[in-house]
Amino acid sequence: MFDEIAFWFAYLTNGKHLTWYASFQFTIIAALLGGALAVVFGLTGATLKTSRFLPLRLIGTTYSAIVRGVPDVLFFLFFPLAFEQAVEWVVATQVCTVESIAAQSSAWPPCREANWFLGTTEYLLLASVSLGLVYGAFATNVIHGAMRAVPHGQLEAARAYGMSARQVLWRVHIRQMWVYALPGLSNVWMLIIKATSLLSLLQIADIVLWADRLGAPNFLPAVGLVHDDWRWRYYLVLFVFYILVTWLSEKAFEAIMRRAGRGILSEARG
């Protein structure tokens, strides 16, 4: 019994498992930062869609329509690579010479000096921006619908009190629309949480990648086979983790909706 406990303690606290535990922070950071950016992009897109100027309305409508139609995986692969190569192209125009370009054996980057070596931090930021862009398009439609649900009488009353168009937008319109938008935004947040399982596509050693590595059959020269295929056990841990995050998120949104609806909800329903 003691030997078995000692084995599991040593196994679950080895260096690889400690790295796996630390990788949970990447999922949480990407979800929080991606969710915040999704709200920012959603507010921007919804504001553009309600603009009085046709070009701005077209920009907002095009953003929400096109991005929502692109598969998440494809956008995750396209945007970071496009951004990385765009930065390298800009740098290449400044640092590359004819000699350095001729000495470059590969097709990209144009010269060795323009090569941008991205680490986990940079990829995590690009992943968060990708999440924000993709799900900001969904948030755009949610917020746009919520803004249209705000009673026009309240907006007219604010204008009658002498508020400017900007004051009406930010102090009344957007303030009131949260009551209608939060249920839809909670669904967008759940989609963002699920999409964090794609972080490994951006060369981030996240919880899914480590679960696959640790669960694969493990051989050590000193002891032979440590364990056979245990991936289903590690995936079960991730399953419980995502269920727990989802449950906590639902409780948090319930509290936020109660807070946002104070003094507004009863009138909005009426």
pLDDT of residue 219: 63
Spatial contact of 214 and 16, defined as CB atoms under 8 Å apart: yes
- Cβ atoms 23, 206 nearer than 8 A: yes
Q: Domain-by-domain residue ranges, the chain? A: 2-269
Among 117, 118, 122, 127, residue whose Cα is nearest residue 27: 127
- What are the tens digits of pLDDT across the range 29-56? 999 999 999 999 999 999 888 888 888 8
Report pLDDT digits (tens) over 195-204: 999 888 887 8
Cα separation of 88 and 4, whole Å? 53
The pTM score is: 0.82
Q: In degrees rounded to 5, what are phi and psi of residue 226?
A: -75, -45
pLDDT score of 267 more than 70:
no
More confident residue, 218 or 215: 215
Domain spanning 2-269: which CATH class is it, in words?
Answer: mainly alpha
Taking the C-alpha atoms of residue 77 and residue 135, their distance in angstroms, rounded to an integer, is 15
- Cβ neighbours for 78, distance < 8 A, ≥ 6 positions apart: none
Q: Which residue, 45, 257, 54, 50, is CA-closest to 155?
A: 50
Helix (H, G, I), strand (E, B) or coil at 27: helix
Least confident of 71-75, 142-146, 180-184, 208-212: 71-75
pLDDT digits (tens, 9 = 90+) for 233-258: 999 999 999 999 999 999 999 998 88
Question: Which pairs from 58-67 meet CB under 8 Å and 24+ separation?
Answer: 60/140, 60/144, 63/137, 63/140, 64/137, 64/138, 64/140, 64/141, 64/144, 65/137, 66/137, 67/133, 67/134, 67/136, 67/137
pLDDT, average across residues 206-234? 78
Beta pairing class for 218-220 and 224-227: antiparallel
Q: Rounded CA gap, 76 and 131, in Å?
A: 8
Q: The tokens of 122 are what?
A: 């940079």
